[in-house]
């Protein structure tokens, strides 16, 4: 490591250590509740209501500044410009590493605090600039078809709860007086698709599944992490929309003693009266009143302004509004938003932490820990560094989108798999070809080049006429005009000109497009925050969405030599990373033949396949077979990719498959025919470097699957079925392709001396220990997993359940004793009367590393012992 890097790390650690040290002489915490009550007493009804929406305006006469409650930091500070981007949440889960989750969360919250204070210093208090973060998503990834599953910590409530607690604590900080950030556990409580039905769907799981699968991790978030915010879900639960469901808010506040505030999912309250959604009430006033009375304090959306008339019409009282408003003001006090300058220790975090070298190194370490070695036949991996000719093939090899996932920030120096391999092997010839489309109907984009754009009808001046306006609406005279060669701009935190308002400007480009060959073109763009595209006066694309920036496109039949009039309008609205790119895909040449030609000359083929955040995600408009509304219709790898790999297989070359995706894939042919497979997820900004470290042996892979990879989607029940029977490793009775907890290593671990009591009393802690030896020839980390198996006599009982895990580094030849303390709350079952109890019974405790999968009929190295729990049942 360079001396400069070491010095930077040392300096930053000193700064952070100083900032984190509590002041022993600080005054007792003021009564935030009393201060909130005094402010509320001075407000008019209109002022009170204004503070219940996510865009809360200033009340200057009371010294209340404007505040926007919406922010995201799922795997790094999102949508607010430069930030360190860690692996997507599903990749974080694959680490099975509590300590690393804590380190990531602290880094993210450091950047969040630094960015907030920088924004405020510039007078910016808009969306994605506050301290209230709508993270983490701890829903259970119960079905691999759900497009948002990548945002979760997988299919197991124990793993989700353990990692969620660490992430929440890391975000909220350890100060006894002030919160570092507010974290938000979402989406409460039974929510996991389908995306297309989420505004009207009614989830009706069994009482057993509600208590055993859908709520334990939320309960941990409240009781163990003191999460200060919970977001209610779009869908209904047992016939009532979650954000208007008194039963759910009572569970939070009365049973679990939740002390924070509840925020609606965005525009979820609108669904209460929208005739195409839940439509449980006829008006905005009744919808707002219903939500507030059910405990939803803050509205992400535009319904709560109607609460003024709701009070006047008698649907709700002003006193009932005061309850929610008090909770929200207390949260702002606890964040130090009204504190004197210098009183909150987190103000000391310097802006230099943002995408700092320390955080970049942490992102690389995290990405390495997240990747899972699924297959390594005949020790194909690691690859030799003496290789001279390597073919890297696949659309995901050099795509920034698959590094970043969704809900992401923008790193300064991202490294794609192709770049990472080239950096790792500077003396080798690394050839690249996409080989095929990622999926039929999904273009391979590139910027529209200047050579086909013209500013005049005579096609004599190349480029496009650009008019830059100091407003959002392209109104009046432009501030600047010029000819831009093409449209491929990332302005980051600046505007194209110094005298242009960086937070509110618009651009209009006009001219002509002349294509070189007749055929079908995908034409579109990427804009953050909004764009329109017109061809010959017809609007082709319109997208204005600061929340979910995505590429938009349409397929058009264009004729060579014809001049098409083109107009593009862009709007930048308070976005800290303005982007405008005019993109296309030309009629495709023979992509497969290009890849085969390169592969013939290579010593090894590295395939970068999978899917993309352009295909799976939140409520998306996807026009690709196998995908719908952001969800997946099946778990197959798109046929374009398997067809290419089958042709490459005929060359007889060594092949390594790297999967980049956010959900399970049924790679059945690939498992049978490709000797080495690595699951890399959406690995964040350092994904390419981390992958190269693993492929070439500089890091021993140690990730584990946080979800089941099924052989076929027909193996499990329907997507809309919220009962757990037949889904996830706990209830799936078939043979998976790869099971939950599975992952290989370049070394081999051996288990011995399992120790645990033969009997305990119900309600007692169970101590389990085991010796783990690294008997291979490499140092490595093992994820030791503990499962509970019941005898099958209990109705609804899972086949097995994770009740403990530890990630342990063991040097070659070394043995370590790993000790687990299994708490009674992990041993409960549910009675017919819906009580959570630990009852007398005989259970089986199994300990192992899940390195060997029954899917390949290999013997798993697992040790098991029976344990008898005696005594009376203990109600939890």
Residues in the chain, total:
876
> 829 has which bridge partners?
837
Instruction: Say which residue the tokens 């869908």 belong to.
Output: 235
By the 10 Å C-beta count (0-12 exposed, 13-18 middle, 19+ buried), 474 is classed as middle
Closest C-alpha among 761, 847, 835, 759 to residue 802: 847
Token pair of 9 as six digits: 């790390």
Give 43-92 as a DSSP string. Answer: --HHHHHHTTBSEE--BGGGTB--EE-----BTB--SSSB---PPPHHHH
Contact 782, 808 (CB under 8 A): yes
Rounded to whole angstroms, the Cα distance separating 471 from 451 reads 30
Cβ neighbours of residue 564 closer than 8 Å, sequence gap 6 or more: 512, 513, 514, 515, 535, 536, 558
Token pair of 445 as six digits: 């984009």
Closest C-alpha among 127, 130, 148 to residue 139: 148
Rounded to whole angstroms, the Cα distance separating 487 from 819 reads 58
Mapped onto helix, strand or coil, the DSSP state of residue 583 is: strand
β pairing state of 862-870 and 759-761: parallel
Closest C-alpha among 826, 784, 787 to residue 806: 784
In the chain, the largest separation of any two C-alpha atoms, in whole Å, equals 92
DSSP state at residue 292: H
Give 258-296 as a DSSP string. Answer: --SEEEEPTTTTGGGT-TTS---SSSHHHHHHHHHHTT-
Rounded to whole angstroms, the Cα distance separating 460 from 448 reads 18
Mapped onto helix, strand or coil, the DSSP state of residue 263 is: strand
Instruction: Say which residue the tokens 């107009």 belong to.
Output: 567
Report residue 729: phi and psi, to 5°.
Answer: -60, -25
β pairing state of 389-393 and 429-433: parallel
Catalytic residue among 271, 399, 552, 616: 616
Token pair of 378 as six digits: 């005949």
Rounded to whole angstroms, the Cα distance separating 360 from 708 reads 30
Residue 484 catalytic? no
Contact 778, 744 (CB under 8 A): no
Residue 616 catalytic? yes
Rounded to whole angstroms, the Cα distance separating 234 from 191 reads 8
For CA atoms 238, 244, 249, 250, the dihedral sign is negative
Token pair of 248 as six digits: 């759910």
Rounded to whole angstroms, the Cα distance separating 549 from 552 reads 9
Rounded to whole angstroms, the Cα distance separating 665 from 678 reads 12
Catalytic residue among 265, 484, 670, 806: 265
Token pair of 316 as six digits: 């709700």
- Rounded to the nearest 10 degrees, how much is the dihedral formed by the CA atoms of 644, 650, 655, 661? 20
Contact 405, 621 (CB under 8 A): no
Query: Annotated active-site positions, please?
Result: 265, 616
């Amino acid at each position: 490591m360079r001396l400069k890097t070491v010095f930077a790390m040392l300096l930053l650690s000193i700064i952070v250590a100083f900032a984190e040290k509590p002041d022993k002489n600080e005054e007792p915490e003021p009564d935030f509740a009393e201060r909130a009550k005094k402010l509320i007493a001075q407000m008019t009804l209109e002022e009170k209501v204004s503070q219940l929406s996510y865009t809360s305006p200033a009340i200057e006469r009371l010294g209340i500044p404007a505040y926007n409650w919406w922010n995201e930091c799922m795997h790094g500070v999102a949508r607010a410009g430069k930030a360190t981007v860690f692996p997507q949440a599903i990749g974080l889960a694959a680490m099975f590493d509590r300590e690393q989750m804590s380190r990531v969360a602290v880094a993210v919250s450091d950047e969040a605090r630094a960015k907030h204070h920088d924004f405020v210093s510039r007078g910016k208090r808009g969306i994605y600039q506050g301290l209230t973060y709508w993270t983490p998503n701890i829903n259970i990834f119960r079905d691999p078809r759900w497009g948002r599953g990548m945002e979760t910590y997988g299919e197991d409530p124990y793993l989700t709860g353990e990692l969620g607690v660490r992430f929440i604590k890391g975000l909220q900080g350890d100060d006894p007086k002030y919160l570092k950030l507010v974290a938000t556990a979402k989406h409460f409580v039974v929510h996991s698709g389908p995306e297309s039905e989420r505004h009207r769907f009614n989830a009706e799981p069994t009482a057993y599944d509600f208590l055993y699968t859908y709520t334990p991790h939320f309960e941990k978030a409240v009781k163990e992490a003191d999460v200060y915010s919970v977001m209610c879900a779009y869908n209904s639960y047992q016939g009532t929309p979650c954000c208007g469901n008194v039963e759910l808010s009572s569970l939070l506040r009365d049973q679990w003693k939740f002390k924070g505030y509840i925020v609606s999912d965005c525009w979820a309250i609108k669904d209460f009266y929208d005739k195409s959604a839940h439509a449980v009430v006829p008006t905005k006033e009744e919808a707002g009143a219903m939500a507030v009375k059910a405990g939803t304090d803050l509205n992400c959306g535009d319904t709560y302004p109607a609460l003024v008339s709701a009070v006047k019409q008698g649907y709700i009282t002003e006193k009932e509004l005061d309850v929610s408003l008090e909770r929200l003001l207390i949260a702002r006090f606890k964040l130090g938003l009204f504190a004197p300058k210098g009183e909150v220790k987190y103000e000391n975090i310097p802006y230099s932490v943002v995408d700092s070298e320390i955080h970049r190194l942490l992102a690389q370490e995290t990405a390495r820990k997240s990747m899972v070695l699924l297959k390594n036949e005949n020790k194909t991996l690691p690859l030799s560094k003496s290789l001279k000719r390597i073919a890297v093939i696949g659309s995901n090899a050099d795509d920034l989108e698959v590094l970043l996932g969704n809900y992401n920030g923008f790193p300064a120096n991202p490294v794609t798999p192709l770049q990472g391999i080239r950096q790792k092997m500077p003396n080798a010839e690394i050839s690249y070809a996409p080989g095929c489309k990622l999926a039929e109907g999904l273009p391979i984009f590139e910027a529209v080049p200047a050579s086909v754009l013209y500013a005049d009808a005579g096609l004599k001046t190349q480029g496009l006429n650009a008019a830059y306006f100091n407003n959002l609406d392209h109104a009046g005279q432009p501030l600047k005009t010029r000819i831009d060669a093409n449209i491929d701009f990332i302005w980051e935190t600046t505007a194209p000109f110094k005298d242009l308002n960086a937070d509110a400007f618009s651009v209009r480009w006009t001219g002509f497009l002349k294509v070189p060959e007749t055929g079908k073109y995908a034409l579109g763009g990427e804009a953050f925050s909004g764009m329109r595209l017109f061809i010959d006066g017809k609007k082709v694309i319109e997208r204005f969405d600061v929340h979910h920036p995505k590429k938009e496109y349409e397929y058009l039949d264009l004729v060579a030599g014809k001049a098409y009039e083109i107009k593009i309008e862009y709007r930048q609205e308070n976005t800290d990373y303005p982007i405008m790119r005019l993109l296309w895909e030309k009629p495709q040449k023979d992509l497969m033949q290009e890849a085969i030609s390169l592969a013939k000359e290579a010593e090894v083929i590295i395939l970068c396949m999978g899917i993309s955040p352009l295909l799976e995600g939140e409520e998306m408009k996807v026009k690709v077979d196998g995908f719908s509304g952001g969800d997946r219709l099946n778990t197959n790898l798109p046929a374009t990719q398997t067809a290419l790999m089958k042709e490459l297989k005929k060359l007889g070359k060594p092949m390594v498959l790297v999967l980049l995706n956010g959900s399970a894939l049924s790679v059945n042919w690939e498992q049978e025919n490709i000797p080495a497979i690595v699951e890399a997820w959406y690995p964040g900004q350092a994904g390419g470097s981390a992958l190269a470290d693993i492929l070439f042996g500089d890091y021993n892979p140690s990730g584990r699957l946080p979800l089941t990879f099924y052989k076929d989607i027909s193996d499990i029940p329907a997507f809309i079925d919220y009962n757990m029977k037949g889904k996830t490793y706990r209830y799936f009775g078939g043979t998976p392709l790869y099971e939950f907890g599975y992952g290989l290593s370049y070394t081999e671990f051996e288990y011995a001396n399992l120790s645990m009591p033969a009997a305990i009393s119900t309600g007692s802690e169970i101590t389990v220990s085991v010796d783990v030896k690294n008997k291979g020839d490499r140092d490595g980390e093992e994820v030791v997993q503990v499962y509970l198996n019941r005898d099958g006599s209990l109705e609804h009982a899972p086949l097995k359940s994770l009740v403990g895990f530890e990630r342990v580094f063991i040097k070659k030849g070394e043995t370590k004793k790993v000790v687990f303390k299994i708490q009674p709350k992990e041993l409960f079952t549910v009675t017919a009367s819906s009580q959570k109890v630990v009852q007398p019974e005989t259970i089986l405790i199994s300990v192992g590393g899940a390195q060997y999968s029954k899917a390949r009929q290999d013997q798993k190295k697992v040790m098991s012992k029976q344990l008898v729990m005696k005594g009376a049942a203990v109600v939890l």
